[in-house]
Amino acid sequence: MTRQRAHTSPGLRARLGLAVVLGPVLLVSMDGSILFLAMPSITDAISPTADQALWILDIYGFAVGSLLVAFGSIGDRYGRLKLLMTGAAVFGIGSAGAAFAPNPELLIACRALMGVAGATLLPSALAVLSELFPDPKQRARAIGIFAAAFAAGFAIGPVVGGTLLGQFWWGSVFLVNLPVIAVFLVLAPILLREVRATGTGRVDPVSVVASAGGLLLTIYGVKHLAADGFSVLPVVTGLLGLTALTAFVLRQRHLEHPLIDFSLFRDRTFTIAIITGLLPLAAWSAAAYLSGIYLQSVLGLSVLNAALLALPGAAVLTVTCVVTPAIVERIGRKAALVTCHFTVAGGLLLLLPTTITDGIGWYVASTVIAGVGYGISFSVVADTAVGAVPAERAGSAGAVAETSNEIGNALGIAILGSLAALVFRLQGPDLAPTLDETRQLPDLVPAALQDAQGAFVTGLHAAVAVAGLLHAALGTVALRRLSEPTAGDPGRSTTDVPAREHLAGTP
């Protein structure tokens, strides 16, 4: 009986280690969204241009998303704990720099540094869980908690940011990271052990440059076309970015140890699951960012009241993420994926009735219903990715899952945010590139402000309508193309596959 209990219950070291690992995970995901409600305050303080404001929001997610896979491979080869410690220290330095940045350029640079550090943390943290929880069922529960923490970070980021901004200056949204980082740096060497994988090969620097550069160039082109209209430079930049991304994909097919093993995408369930990691985050980030501006700059709510309105949706998202593994055991992965996309679509479309005078109820209902789908996406993607590969590639597999989340987060603001900016430019009073800049103009007449607010709401509607229709389409694809059972037992976690129960690590 004693041996059985030891097998089914993780020890004190494992529980404490999990708690320590979740700290940086929470911070990395929270920093992807904490600025959504803070941007009006940052705009007032350091006056970024419209393009700089988008980069302040986006550069973090792009840095994380473009480097996650590379750092997953580096951690597999050189040691995950070592990478965790280094990344946490750099993340703290970047946070301190961002808090006291005197101008937009330095803030963008510090956010980029934080993104690079964040890319070292997520895949290694997920891989370290395999050493802490060697039992497959324990590991599945730990991954569910990991996914819940990651989801909670995205969800509570705006709430934490709004609460801090109600009491302190805008830099406080970055200083909140420092105590958590300090605790991690003290306790991690005590509770966590170094984990390395064998046979991972060297990291291909050409692939790293092609993936990161291609992503940044492509989004740069998209943003400038939306904000400024057609010109040669953004078109050429975007085409160069797409060329680099194409070269990256082709190169991976010929490498012995690719950064992304695209052969995994031959599995239909895996492919839809990874898209499920990207698309909901794109929709969520764009809706959260645009809704934050809507609540403050259109409806006139304070930053704290706007943050409080996000709490119901944040709670639903987090709880859904925790209970999803148990739900999948009952209804199967296909039903979970279908439910994810249709609930997100339904929630997003509830923002369409919002107006320049009324929309609080629609906003709360939207976040609650869409929160169900967002929570499912976090949990299903993490479990599928880690269970789809041998344990010695856990870092890289976890990186694919988190990459889909982070790139989705950044793409949502970049692409859907650019769509909203384009609509504002075409329908607004043509006094300034953004609503917040328009509101700051001296001698602004009420009619012009009302026109600007109306144009912004139209842009919000366009962005959520596109995102909602994409989710409905993907839900339909999942309903028609996935079969039950998917990858074995419909309710069985992929982490329970016996061939993947062994972790190739060093204790």
74-78, 95-99, 302-306, range with the lowest pLDDT: 74-78
Whether 50 and 110 share a structural domain: yes
Whether 185 and 210 share a structural domain: no
**Residue 317: which CATH number?**
1.20.1250.20
When divided into structural domains, the chain yields a total of 2
Whether 32 and 173 share a structural domain: yes
Q: Is residue 25 part of a domain?
A: yes
Whether 354 and 417 share a structural domain: yes
| Residue that is written with structure tokens 């605790």 in the block | 183
Q: Is residue 104 part of a domain?
A: yes
pLDDT tops 70 at residue 217:
yes
Whether 210 and 328 share a structural domain: no
pLDDT level of residue 226 (50, 70, 90 thresholds): low
Whether 284 and 329 share a structural domain: yes
**Residues 391-418 pLDDT 10s:** 555 555 555 666 676 677 667 777 888 8
131-140, 191-200, 356-365, 383-392, range with the lowest pLDDT: 383-392
User: Pick from 258, 280, 303: which residue ends a domain?
Assistant: 258
Whether 177 and 248 share a structural domain: no
Which 3 state secondary structure label does DSSP give 505?
A: coil
Q: Is residue 6 part of a domain?
A: no
The mean pLDDT value for 476-499 works out to 53
What DSSP character marks residue 322? H
Decide which of 72 and 491 is more confident.
Answer: 72
pLDDT level of residue 110 (50, 70, 90 thresholds): very high
pLDDT level of residue 472 (50, 70, 90 thresholds): very high
pLDDT tops 70 at residue 497:
no
pLDDT tops 70 at residue 419:
yes
Whether 386 and 469 share a structural domain: yes
Whether 153 and 284 share a structural domain: yes
- Tokens describing residue 368: 């609650």
Report the candidate in 396, 414, 346, 343 with the shortest Cα–Cα distance to residue 374: 343
Q: Is residue 403 part of a domain?
A: yes
CB 271 within 8 A of CB 385: no
pLDDT given for residue 362 in this prediction: 95
DSSP 400-436: HHHHHHHHHHHHIIIIIHHHHHHHHHHHS-SSSSSHH
In 10 A of CB 312, how many CB atoms?
14
434: left (phi over 0), alpha (psi -120 to 50) or beta: beta
User: Pick from 258, 275, 294: which residue ends a domain?
Assistant: 258
Whether 150 and 250 share a structural domain: no
pLDDT given for residue 486 in this prediction: 41
**Residues 145-170 pLDDT 10s:** 777 777 677 667 777 777 787 788 88
- Looking at residue 379, its amino acid is S
pLDDT level of residue 343 (50, 70, 90 thresholds): very high
pLDDT given for residue 384 in this prediction: 63
Decide which of 138 and 338 is more confident.
Answer: 338
The pTM (predicted TM-score) of the whole model is 0.70
The mean pLDDT value for 462-472 works out to 94
Whether 273 and 240 share a structural domain: no
Instruction: Please state, rounded to an integer, the average pLDDT across all residues of the chain.
Output: 78
Whether 110 and 179 share a structural domain: yes
Decide which of 246 and 150 is more confident.
Answer: 246
CA 41, 111, 467, 326 torsion-angle sign:
negative
H helices present in 192-332, as ranges: 205-228, 232-252, 268-293, 303-309, 311-331
Where in the sequence is the domain holding 132, given as residue range(s)? Answer: 12-192+259-498
Q: Is residue 198 part of a domain?
A: no
- Tokens describing residue 22: 């979740």
Summary count for the chain: helices (H), strands (E): 20, 0
Most confidently predicted of 44-48, 423-427, 442-446: 423-427
The mean pLDDT value for 351-370 works out to 94
Q: Is residue 27 part of a domain?
A: yes
Q: Is residue 505 part of a domain?
A: no
pLDDT given for residue 381 in this prediction: 73
User: Pick from 238, 258, 278: which residue ends a domain?
Assistant: 258
Q: How far apart are CA 8 and CA 350, in angstroms?
A: 44
Q: Is residue 7 part of a domain?
A: no
